[in-house]
Amino acid sequence: MAKKQMSREGYQKLEEKINYLVTVRRAEVAQKLKEARAFGDLSENAEYDEAKNEQGILEAEIAELENTLANAEIVDGDNISVDEIGIGSLIEIRRKGEDKIQKLQIVGTNEVNVKEGKISDESPIGRAAMHKRVGDTFIVEAPVGELTFEVLAISRK
């Protein structure tokens, strides 16, 4: 599996989430299982089945997050290019034919927060913008057709 780039902040948030799932959620699910077992016959115990399903989903989520962290490449500080768009880049773009400037940050998929202007490198705009330089244009396929954007600026935080 190829290394997936993410910011240090995103990496730390995932570590915190795993810690919460392992220390708090596992204990909660274990308690649900214990209580469900007390209801008796496990073959006809809906509460037990539900708790086992919840446990399976929780363990799968923990395993997926651990795998993400194990295959993460942290990009921050001086590693963020100001010459071409990459993970961590703060960009200013303008759609062709419009005056409005959009300020976005390209982040890994686990860090997306559209309200904060953080878009994934795998989103349509993020993917199309990767490796572009100031002055370059790029095209994004959208439901309304092709949208053309110009890169106005690239910076770090």
Instruction: Give the Cα separation of 154 and 53 in Å (integer).
Output: 46
At 13-52, the pLDDT tens digits run: 899 999 999 999 999 999 988 888 887 776 777 888 888 9
At 81-127, the pLDDT tens digits run: 788 998 889 999 999 999 999 999 998 888 899 999 999 999 999 99
Instruction: Give the Cα separation of 120 and 87 in Å (integer).
Output: 9
The pTM is what?
0.71
Instruction: Give the Cα separation of 14 and 6 in Å (integer).
Output: 10
H-helix or E-strand containing 137? strand 137-142
Residue 99's φ and ψ, nearest 5 degrees, are: -95, -25
Instruction: Give the Cα separation of 111 and 4 in Å (integer).
Output: 12
Instruction: Give the Cα separation of 118 and 107 in Å (integer).
Output: 6
